[in-house]
Amino acid sequence: MRKELEKYFRTEKLPHIWCPGCSHGILTGAVIRAIDNLKLDQKKICIVSGIGCSSRAPGYMNFYTLHTTHGRALAFATGIKLANPDLKVIVLTGDGDCAAIGGNHFIHAARRNIDITTVVFNNNIYGMTSGQYSPMTPRGAYATTAPYGNIDRSFDLCKLAQSAGATYVARGTVYHIPQLIKLIEKALQHKGFSFVDAVSICPTYFGRKNKMASPVKMMEFIRDASIPIKSAEKLSKEELAGKIVIGEFYEEQAPEYTEEYAKVIEKVREGN
């Protein structure tokens, strides 16, 4: 880690307790580097998490932070943003925390277009609680709660976010870190609900259950399966099966929720 980045960490909390080979530290570093590259005011940032492996990240990060209940990070973040519109509010969440238990909060935060940046640490499984399948576990993959293979279809989180109303949507991976940092930077600069699906790895639970226990093998899988969005547009649905499409999917400008809410408050005060 570069010496100048140490100020963004609660070094007294390190070393972290993530499993060997877990890539959540890489994703945490990507968020930190994006913040540093943009020269954002450290005292104007609040990072919020729910419950899960990903949600340990804010504990190591030297900002205003809030570790909330399972699936509710976006609900708490919405309250923080409404009460303090000048804060840059960032939610770090896992695929289970965001898309299962917190799924309803996720779609409504996107629908409202509230100015929150959400980064999903997507490792395809509930790691902290021993490897149950999540809404992002691929169909046919194994988990402790899917010993014969998962029969559920997984979400495409980027399509879900865009369909729900998110105004910036992107996907990156732990293998493509320079690109991921740039995507997070774009998300942080965007006015409105911005969403980055950050594909991660869990060698301990997803890897062992699916014969990819080596972090290197999991990284190689991400490398080989990833395809830029421009290249993906030229392929058929069948050719895209099993691929991880990465890049920027969507961006638009739309009224932001806290600004619209402030207008309502002003009308009430004026008695209109």
pLDDT of residue 43: 96
66-123 per-position pLDDT tens digit: 999 999 999 999 999 999 999 999 999 999 999 999 999 999 999 999 999 999 999 9
Q: Is the dihedral of CA 123, 120, 178, 111 positive or negative?
A: positive
Task: Tell me the C-alpha distance between 170 and 198, whole Å.
Answer: 9
Strands (E) across the chain are located at: 45-49, 64-67, 88-94, 116-122, 125-126, 132-133, 168-173, 194-199, 226-228, 244-251
217-262 per-position pLDDT tens digit: 999 999 999 999 999 999 999 999 999 999 999 999 999 999 999 9
In this predicted structure, the answer to whether residue 271 has a pLDDT above a threshold of 90 is: no
For the packed helices 157-164 and 103-112, what is the interaxial angle rounded to 10 degrees? 50
- The alpha carbon of 212 is separated from its chain's Cα centroid by a whole number of angstroms, namely 23
Residue 174 lies in a domain: yes
137-158 per-position pLDDT tens digit: 999 999 999 999 999 999 999 9
Residue 5 lies in a domain: no
pLDDT of residue 257: 98
pLDDT of residue 213: 74
pLDDT of residue 260: 97
**48, 84 Cβ separation under 8 angstroms:** no
Residue 1 lies in a domain: no
Query: pTM for this structure?
Result: 0.96
23-70 per-position pLDDT tens digit: 999 999 999 999 999 999 999 999 999 999 999 999 999 999 999 999
Query: Into how many domains does the chain fold?
Result: 1
Region 171-190: mean pLDDT is 98
Q: How confident is the model at residue 18 (pLDDT cuts 50, 70, 90)?
A: very high
Upstream peptide bond of 58 is cis (omega within 30 degrees of 0)? no
| Mean per-residue pLDDT of the chain | 96
Domain hosting residue 86, numbered range: 14-268
Residue 8 lies in a domain: no
Residue 9 lies in a domain: no
pLDDT of residue 185: 98
Task: Tell me the C-alpha distance between 134 and 94, whole Å.
Answer: 10
**174, 184 Cβ separation under 8 angstroms:** no
**39, 100 Cβ separation under 8 angstroms:** no
Task: Please report where in the chains the tokens 């940092």 appear, as a residue.
Answer: 181
SS3 268: helix
Give all strands of the β-sheet with 226-228 in edge-to-edge order. Answer: 64-67, 45-49, 88-94, 116-122, 194-199, 168-173, 244-251, 226-228
**226, 242 Cβ separation under 8 angstroms:** no
Structure-token pair, residue 229: 């969005």
In this predicted structure, the answer to whether residue 272 has a pLDDT above a threshold of 70 is: no
Task: Tell me the C-alpha distance between 31 and 56, whole Å.
Answer: 14
Residue 61 sits in a domain whose CATH number is 3.40.50.970
Q: 236: burial class by Cβ within 10 Å (0-12, 13-18, 19+)?
A: exposed
